[in-house]
A and B are shown apart, each in its own frame.
Chain A
């Protein structure tokens, strides 16, 4: 069974940075393309971006609202996916989920609150 466990969320001030982690198990992480999705309070689901496997170049794609501020990376030796979020805005508040790129498996999410 695939398990994805996010961590690293918390309360931060506007303009600050944060690194979210997603520990993966139950899948061959090295071969997995992975995505991040978020949900702002009272809003719907929003795809943030994805990272391909190392074999496929480990390249990334991002949604326009986060491009340039968010960076997705991975450490295959640790079976861990990362989301580096910088220049945080109040509108970035929400629950951040990591998922497999096919959206078959999701973590429970980690809450990021941006407030002054």
Chain B
């Protein structure tokens, strides 16, 4: 199984400041045939289902604000919230969909400082 490890487990950021979450996969999630990384990011708020933000490591889902961006390659990936808003308080997960079983990181809790 591909193990996904996120860091940090939690972070507190001031409103308007940048939040950065890291995700490392234990194996490459690069598809050799399509040359894209099978890596997604989700936002999960209490009482709501998870919401997909980013796929292919850096492509924003339709309707996701452009303050959310994904980057990375190989086995190291990053989700950046460029200017944290109050509504961004949530737990964020990375996930690989390169191989079965699909696996998620342990989650990173983002709070307001």
Contact = CB atoms under 8 A, between A and B. Distances in A.
A94 interface: no
Interface in A49-95: 61-64
A64 B40 CA distance: 22
Nearest to A108: B49
8 contacts: A37-B50, A44-B105, A45-B42, A45-B50, A45-B93, A45-B107, A47-B104, A103-B42
Which are the 7 A-B pairs with shortest beta-carbon distances?
A: A106-B49, A47-B102, A45-B104, A63-B101, A44-B107, A44-B106, A61-B100
B61 A46 contact: no
Interface of A: 35, 37, 44-47, 61-64, 97, 102-104, 106-109
B60 interface: no
B44 interface: yes
A6 B38 CA distance: 27
Interface string B41-52: 010100011111
B95 interface: yes
Nearest to B1: A64
B103 interface: yes
A57 to B, nearest CB: 15
Nearest to B4: A44
Contacts of A107: 49
B103 A47 contact: yes
Nearest to B48: A108
Contacts of B105: 44
Given A45-B50, A97-B49, A103 B40 contact: yes
